[in-house]
Amino acid sequence: MSRSPHNAEEYRLTDPHITELLDRATADLQPQFQGIFGPETIRAVVEETYAQLNATARVHTHLATLATRFARERLTSIAKNQGALVPSTPEVLFVCVHNAGRSQMAAALLHHHAQGTVAVRSAGSTPADTVNPAVVEVMNELGIDLSQEFPKKLSFDAVEAADVVITMGCGDACPVFPGKRYLDWELDDPAGKPVEEVRPIREDIDRRVRDLLAELVPEAAR
């Protein structure tokens, strides 16, 4: 499990094109975290995030854009944990082993139903290279696009920032912090299953997500 930020020297990148992209990503993130993190810290998280994604990605198109998104999530978590940001909505973290199926569906469904009333993240204890294609297909059937999503490594910061942590087959991988609500959802793993067998898993997750939303934000579930 990763903890951020780490020393950027470990992930020194020498390709001028990549350096330019990461410079731009750092500049894009600075206004959001002005007064919270200096440019050196932001750059360190951006570089580490890019290096982690680059190590497992099969397709490197838009990798810098994905790194910017994930770095923003990580910096937000760190800022919350330090008390520099006061969250206005509850935050839910979904965790499965590969962050390629169950946790991706759960996060997307909660994000869809909550309409901004809940902050949602997902991660995996051992992230896969890509999101399960069958999962992408069954979510497309609901009009939810997962084509731009990617498996993410579970971090201490993400767990610490969450109000509710929901595990799906990897409970032992999650650190326990006082004051958090932990749930373990027993769900079939969609890995290797055809679309016809993934749909019932999606529906099971959807029911659980709706129940969770009704507890967290009753007015959003109406």
Catalytic annotation, residues: 96, 170, 174
For the chain, the first-to-last Cα distance in angstroms comes to 37
Q: Counting beta carbons within 10 angstroms of the beta carbon of residue 214, is it exposed (0 to 12), middle (13 to 18) or buried (19 or more)?
A: middle
Q: Are the C-beta atoms of 81 and 39 separated by less than 8 Å?
A: no
Q: Judge whether 108 and 102 are in contact, CB under 8 Å.
A: no
Structural contact between residues 169 and 183, judged by C-beta atoms closer than 8 angstroms: no
User: Using alpha carbons only, what angle is made at residue 153 by residues 101 and 90, rounded to the nearest 5 degrees?
Assistant: 80
